[in-house]
Amino acid sequence: MASKKLTVEELSQLKYARQQRINYLAQLGNLELSILKLQKEKVKSSEIVIALEQAEQQLHKILQEKYGQGYIDIDNGEFIQQ
């Protein structure tokens, strides 16, 4: 089988295309890693929000037992009975 040499320009274009592909694959990998980290952070934040909501509900229950039915004006710290 006979072989033929590529021109310098053709070889240069092939090397450039390959290097660009490698660079973008690396960039894609970094983006995927960032996405995984953000997803993990999202789950953690969601768990914290749920825990805080539960703590807030528990505090509302305690305050309701202490003060009765009504609502609290958080801005001025007053309990307003219904």
Each domain of the chain, given as residue ranges in start order, spans 8-81
71, pLDDT greater than 90:
no
The amino acid sitting at 28 is: L
Name, in order, each residue with C-beta under 8 angstroms of 3's C-beta and a sequence gap of 6 or more. none
C-alpha span between 40 and 45 (Å, rounded):
9
pLDDT for 15-35, tens place per residue?
999 999 999 999 999 999 999
Its pTM surpasses 0.75:
no
Name the nearest CA neighbour of 35 among 16, 69, 8, 27. Answer: 27
Q: In whole angstroms, how large is the CA radius of gyration of the chain?
A: 31
